Amino acid sequence: MKKVYNFNAGPCVLPKPAIEAAIEALKDFKGTGMSVIEISHRTKEWDAVMDECRSLWRELLNIPDTHEILFMGGGASMQFLMVAMNFLEKKGAYLETGVWAKKALKEAKGLGEAYAVASSADKTFCYIPKDYEIPADADYFHITTNNTIYGTEIRKDIDSPVPLIADMSSDIMSRPVDVSKYALIYGGAQKNVGPAGVAFAIINKETLGKVSRYIPTMLNYQTFIDGASMFNTPPVFSIFVMNETLKWLKAQGGVEAINKINVRKAEMLYDEIDRNSMFVGTAAKEDRSIMNVCFVMAPGKEELQDEFMAFAKDHGMVGVKGHRSVGGFRASLYNACPVEAVEALVACMQEFEKLHK
């Protein structure tokens, strides 16, 4: 098999043990003689997977009993609407830090009054706004903790006077989180906790039931609480791989241990970007993401962008092209991205620099 280093932003690199377990389960799920993608979700074998997966979420993030863990389809993009459906009564407040935050706000505006209390759009979302006030009369305050396109991240839990809601699609399980501070944490799985096809929600049950509108059944978080995430057929294969991914994470020492590795990987790459005469980082240094490292060619070197892209590809780097809306380069360093991959990318950047000195 060809040796490559996967820096894709999502779907992303997954732990090898999770992939191997998935292959076996596709052949024969728990000795049933059937594949995991054809087994009934109303069986004790599947119940065991769901129970274990919820238990791992609770253990790894120290989720309190006040919060329920839900799995559903539709991705984080469906959650944008679900958030407003379930929480917006009079006014929703948002921190606008990128494309996904803007999309979440757009869905809320379609249902009622919603606005951005602060935005970093003035500088192409290269920083996290600092001096803003969360309105005490808002129904909730929504943040996007990690911005994959622009490489910025909110790495500390915010103290909010109103229910705090966070899209953590791309940094969930990468660092410790005080879940008790959040009314809702949600996201798509395809960055750190599994393949595409399943979304997660960690929700404080006491924060629901506050809106007066009718909520369609499949957009109501209470539906998934009452049905234990199986009101309808869940995305079984994606949940199975998620469970195996979380088992791998626990074996690595859990969230605190993986956070130390993630910080090490990010520092290694940022140090090279800051040192290397060929490249420059795009995010404000105090707001740099440890999940998505974004950079461009240094001033005067722009004409070498395509050459470096080809050079990196020849050296086994996959997925380092920046998002189509901003260009440049992006290396996504999610949990399963090994230190070895970052070392290889750094060596590739150093070699490219030597060729052009």
Q: Using CA atoms, how far apart are residues 299 and 277, in angstroms rounded to an integer?
A: 10
Q: Using CA atoms, how far apart are residues 255 and 261, in angstroms rounded to an integer?
A: 10
| Domain boundary assignment for the chain | 16-251, 255-355
Same CATH fold, 255-355 and 16-251?
Answer: no
Is the pLDDT at 108 greater than 70? The verdict is yes
Specify the length of the chain in residues.
357
For the domain with range 16-251, which CATH number is right: 3.30.465.10, 3.40.190.10, 3.40.640.10, 3.30.160.60? 3.40.640.10
Tokens 């929504």, located at residue:
142
* 8 A C-beta contact, residue 36 and residue 152: no
Q: Using CA atoms, how far apart are residues 181 and 77, in angstroms rounded to an integer?
A: 23
Average pLDDT over residues 97-119: 98
**Active site annotation includes 100:** yes
Q: What is the pTM assigned to this prediction?
A: 0.97
C-alpha angle 252/331/249, rounded to 5°? 15
What's the token pair of residue 17?
A: 């043990």
**Active site annotation includes 28:** no
Q: What are 54-57's contacts with CB under 8 Å, separation 24+?
A: 56/243, 56/246, 56/247, 56/250, 57/200, 57/202, 57/246
Query: What secondary structure letter does DSSP report for 288?
Result: B
Q: Which of 181, 248, 348 is nearest to 16 (CA)?
A: 248
Q: Which of 83, 72, 192 is nearest to 142 (CA)?
A: 83
Q: Given 167, 171, 287, 321, which residue is catalytic?
A: 167
Task: Give percent of the chain with pLDDT exceeding 70.
Answer: 99
Average pLDDT over residues 272-283: 98
Q: Given 46, 57, 100, 248, which residue is catalytic?
A: 100
Q: Which of 138, 133, 136, 132 is nearest to 92 (CA)?
A: 138
Q: Using CA atoms, how far apart are residues 242 and 66, in angstroms rounded to an integer?
A: 23
Average pLDDT over residues 201-230: 97
Q: How confident is the model at residue 276 (pLDDT cuts 50, 70, 90)?
A: very high
Q: Given 46, 57, 171, 191, which residue is catalytic?
A: 191
Q: What is the pLDDT of residues 248-269, one digit of tens each?
A: 999 999 999 999 999 999 999 9
Is the pLDDT at 79 greater than 80? The verdict is yes
Q: What is the pLDDT of residues 21-44, one digit of tens each?
A: 999 999 999 999 999 999 999 999
Q: Which residues of 7-25 are buried (b: 16+ CB within 10 A; e: fewer)?
A: bbbbbbbbbeebeebbeeb
Q: Which CATH class is domain 255-355?
A: alpha beta
Specify the pLDDT at position 1. Answer: 61
Specify the pLDDT at position 324. Answer: 86
Using the Cα atoms of residue 120, residue 125, residue 130 and residue 134 in order, give the sign of their dihedral. positive
**Active site annotation includes 46:** no
